[in-house]
Amino acid sequence: MTALLEVDGLRVAVNGGAVVLDDLSFSVARGETLAIVGESGCGKSVTSLAIMRLLPPALRLTGGAIRFDGADLATVSPTRMRDLRGRRIGMIFQEPMTSLNPGLRVGEQIAEVLRIHEGLSRAAAWRRAVELLDHVRIPDPARRAMEYPHRLSGGQRQRVVIAAAIACRPDLIIADEPTTALDVTVQAQVLELLKSLQREIGSAVILITHNLGVVAQTADRVMVMYAGRKVEEGAVAAIFDDPRHPYTSGLLRATPDPTRPRPARGVLHEIPGMVPRLGARASGCAFRPRCARAVPRCAEGVPPLLATNSGLAACLFAQEGAAA
Amino acid sequence: MTPRARRIARFLARRLAQGVALLLCIAVLDFALLHAVPGDAADAIAGEAGTADPGYVATLRHQLGLDQPLPVQLGLYLGRLAQGNFGYSFRYGQSVASLILERLPATLLLMAASIGFAVAASLVLGTLSARFANRWPDRLITLVTLFFYATPLFWFGLMAIVLFGVHLGWLPTGGMYDVARPRTGLAFALDVARHLVLPAFTQACFFLAIYTRLVRTSMLQAYGSDYVRFARAKGVGELRIALRHVLRNALTPLVTMVGLNLGTLLGGAVLTETVFSWPGIGRLMYDAVFQRDVNLLLSILVLGSVIVIVANLLVDMLYAALTPAVELR
Amino acid sequence: MIRLPLVIGGLIVLALVAMAASAGWIFPDDPMTMVAEPLLWPGQDPAFPLGTDSLGRDIAAGIFHGARASLAIGFISSSAALALGTLVGAVAGYRGGRVDDGLMRISELFQAIPQFMLIIVLLVIFRPSVATIILAISIVGWPAIARLVRAEFIVLREREFVQSCRVIGMSGPAIMLTQILPNALPVLIVSGTIQVATAILMEAALSFLGLGDPNLLTWGGMIGMGRDQLREAWFVVAVPGLALLITALGLNLLGDGLNDLLDPRGRRA
């Protein structure tokens, strides 16, 4: 499979200050689902916003390339980028409650994408919007399209957001914590919807989440991030079976997993300490202060990504068998 | 009727009922104030007519129902008001109602021009301010609005007369039109427009300051919102984002604020019209102060309230058009 | 962090208070009497740095004595509006129900009546004097404060510390006075400061229209008098107007500064 998206050495920094993303590289193949996981503050959302070129004003892309189907998103013109957004790359945000404009009918907010990118007439775009609402399984779509977001539940709103994101059948869908703000029962439905739409359209998906259960259900590959860097990457099953970075194994042990009883005596562990604040990251391996295996050598430079049985891991002990 | 139309209709009906109730309260208040004046209407009318003949006064008193018990008088008073009968002004030789109605267009023109200017300018300045938040254009605009907010409007008007009228000679400094010119056609409209510039600007300054700060805040909020980020992620262009997504949501608080300020605006008209000899009801009020014509003053007060209430209904309709029906209360 | 608005505003207000306090011994003579040739331009005669008006009165003396009138009327009417507004707003916000409905109706009434017109009518009927002016300004000023206090009390009455006071059997008035009011104080201080500016501008506008206390020299009155010579001697109008502008600016800066100081979490955004 050819890579659809290839991120190479991406760097993002606070204007003239702390580094947020440091030398981040990964790729996504057509049709595949890559999950990006990590605690909040690890740089997952910044990664997605950088790909979309929607970084908040305080952040700046300072290096690297984002190759998407031949073009480098880091350098394309704003006009070109705008044309790609919504048409070839769709994005779904975490907060369905605030992602929709409270002053516009939901139908219009979907139709907008079609009018911009496919040049549909007002009426045609509206018809397509209603079809899309039906497609994301919203009952009585013709009537719902007329409603303002306030009248819809959280799950329904997220379906509207998804409908807008897939309206132009994009090659890539970036979903930033798409189910986190939803009720548990709704989460599964929305995730299922996303999966079936992906199969149908054949899009690649970047799924950003901190929920490893979601990763196990949906993703092909997983990339673990810590403090703005990739610390481990590989096929989901392999990584879950044999994590080589202590952070990954910490995350796994902190996750209850009904489908796969772990041998850890059924006890949930939490990782001691917290994600370091920006600018307060430790030298060498950033995870060092929270790591049980840390040795003085860990402070000497950032550990390189080493090839393991399950993929890549940025730990000095990655090739020495399962992380503790 | 769609549910939305029904909701809007219900909202406007409720506002209309509230307006009528308010008007009733104001009329009662007026009645009370009228009775607080030493002497009654009969004395006043007799005084104005230049006679103190007790017989005439007694007849007048009977005619006006002033010998009736107070509640009956209140009823009569409200009845007269409802018919648009505000009494007769001997000094002007016409009914108070026609006197005020004659002056009304000038005041409405001044109000509309100053609101229009304040809103338009505040949208521009507020947007600039938000766009350059905490950089020098923002600081400059903030400073200017601070001055506008603190400047006494009548003094600002006088200084504008000195600068633009006397020293630069760019604009007329008083009146609504040039009496020496024909009062027809485009030339007349342009003449009125020239006369309108200084009073409208003077009247608008204070509100311009308030609105600019409001627009700045709501623009900042809207531009930082998730829905604008989502719109960008959909590939929506900046112009469309500004017009469809941001402006619309920033306009709602502005519209509300304009509605709240109408009374203050009309009160300010007394000063502006006095300073610029603008022939509206504000100027009429100033003249009535000099003549201690309490009936005329109270009539202007009632009609001023009517203007505010009616204008507020218009604002409510605009608000209803801008807001999703769910939020209408 | 330097709180520039607070400092500038505070200094302006302090200077005003100093002017008002020293008016009596810097300019011991009645500022209403003629002391020199009329319409002397500022700087023309060093004895009268701000010039004289059409009646030959010293404008500088007028500014100092006018500061007294402005500040006194501003502070007293604002205090009255603040007291009444706080009382009504507190009861309405804490009790809710009918009292609250009543208050909201009254404040709507005051919003519909052009307030400045109402003041004019009141003063024509009851004759302008310091007392009636103060009364009229506070009558239109209190509803806005009452609304503000009400909103604050509605939020605060649901807080845990208030609930627990209720549980231990504290009486309503005691809770309002000792528990909620101190927490609502920042809002009161800020809106009170800005209300002073509003009241001063309002009094000036009234004096300008000839509805000031005839026995009192005020900045607004000076502007009203100078209007007749606006074309020849605009400084007679400009000087007291600048005094008003600086005063209102100072009070507003002070209010803004106090707001930032007392509300560090920036609830106002």
The number of distinct structural domains making up chain A is 1
Listed residues B41, B67, B95: the one ending a domain: B95
Listed residues B95, B128, B156: the one ending a domain: B95
Domain that holds residue B41: 3-95
Task: Please indicate, yes or no, if residue B40 is contained in any of the structural domains.
Answer: yes
The pLDDT tens digits for A162-205 are 999 999 999 999 999 888 878 888 888 888 889 999 999 999 99
C15 vs B163: CA distance, rounded Å? 29
Task: Please indicate, yes or no, if residue B48 is contained in any of the structural domains.
Answer: yes
The pLDDT tens digits for A107-119 are 999 999 999 999 8
The pLDDT tens digits for A144-153 are 999 888 888 8
Same domain, B48 and B194: no
Task: Please indicate, yes or no, if residue B31 is contained in any of the structural domains.
Answer: yes
In terms of Cβ atoms closer than 10 Å to its own Cβ (0-12, 13-18, 19+), residue A272 is exposed
Same domain, B134 and B240: yes
> Is the minimum CB–CB distance between A193 and chain B shorter than 8 Å?
no
The pLDDT tens digits for B21-73 are 888 888 888 888 887 777 666 776 677 666 667 777 788 777 767 777 778 88
* CB atoms B150 and C252 under 8 Å: yes
Q: Copy the structure tokens of residue B209.
A: 């300051």
Same domain, B204 and B266: yes
pLDDT for position B105 = 92
* CB atoms C205 and B152 under 8 Å: yes
Share of chain C above pLDDT 70, in %: 95
pLDDT for position B28 = 87
Nearest-CA distance from A219 to chain B in Å?
23
pLDDT for position B329 = 56
Mean pLDDT value across residues A245-255: 84
Residue B222, CB-side half-sphere exposure with 13 Å CA sphere: 27
Same domain, B227 and B190: yes
Mean pLDDT value across residues A252-258: 71
Same domain, B60 and B131: no
Task: Please indicate, yes or no, if residue A313 is contained in any of the structural domains.
Answer: yes
C214 vs C113: CA distance, rounded Å? 27
The number of distinct structural domains making up chain B is 2
Task: Please indicate, yes or no, if residue B302 is contained in any of the structural domains.
Answer: yes
Same domain, B88 and B230: no
pLDDT for position C135 = 93
Listed residues B95, B120, B151: the one ending a domain: B95
Task: Please indicate, yes or no, if residue A99 is contained in any of the structural domains.
Answer: no
pLDDT for position A312 = 87
- Mean pLDDT of the residues in chain A: 86
- pLDDT tier at A1, thresholds 50, 70, 90: low
Task: Please indicate, yes or no, if residue A237 is contained in any of the structural domains.
Answer: yes
Chain C contacts of B213, Cβ < 8 Å? none
Task: Please indicate, yes or no, if residue A321 is contained in any of the structural domains.
Answer: yes
Q: Copy the structure tokens of residue A219.
A: 């993703």
Cα three-residue angle B291-B293-B296, rounded to 5 degrees: 130
> Is the minimum CB–CB distance between C201 and chain B shorter than 8 Å?
yes
- pLDDT tier at A7, thresholds 50, 70, 90: very high
Same domain, B57 and B204: no
ipTM of this complex prediction, to 2 decimal places: 0.86
* CB atoms B235 and A98 under 8 Å: no
The pLDDT tens digits for B196-246 are 889 999 999 999 999 998 999 888 888 888 999 999 999 998 888 888 888
Task: Please indicate, yes or no, if residue A264 is contained in any of the structural domains.
Answer: no
Same domain, B34 and B117: no
Nearest-CA distance from A117 to chain B in Å?
8
Query: CB count, 10 Å around CB of B53?
Result: 11
- Using CB atoms and an 8 Å cut-off, which of residues 134-153 of chain A contact chain B? 148-151
Domains, chain C, ordered by start: 4-25+57-268 (1.10.3720.10)
Task: Please indicate, yes or no, if residue A191 is contained in any of the structural domains.
Answer: no
- Report whether pLDDT(C268) > 70: no
Of A93, A113, A150, the CB nearest to B324: A150
Task: Please indicate, yes or no, if residue B328 is contained in any of the structural domains.
Answer: no
User: Could you tell me if B150 and B142 are in contact, meaning their C-beta atoms sit under 8 angstroms apart?
Assistant: no
The pLDDT tens digits for B313-327 are 888 888 777 776 555
Domain that holds residue A308: 220-257+284-324
Mean pLDDT value across residues C202-230: 88
**Lowest mean per-residue pLDDT among B182-186, B223-227, B307-311, C15-19:** B182-186
The pLDDT tens digits for C92-139 are 888 888 888 887 788 888 878 888 999 999 999 888 899 999 999 999
The pLDDT tens digits for B88-132 are 777 787 888 889 998 999 999 999 999 999 999 999 999 888 888
pLDDT for position C266 = 47
- pLDDT tier at A127, thresholds 50, 70, 90: very high
* CATH number where B204 lies: 1.10.3720.10
Of A263 and B230, more confident: B230
Question: Which one, of B34, B21, B16, B24, lies nearest residue B79 by Cα?
Answer: B24
Task: Please indicate, yes or no, if residue B209 is contained in any of the structural domains.
Answer: yes
Task: Please indicate, yes or no, if residue B327 is contained in any of the structural domains.
Answer: no
Chain B contacts of A151, Cβ < 8 Å? 326
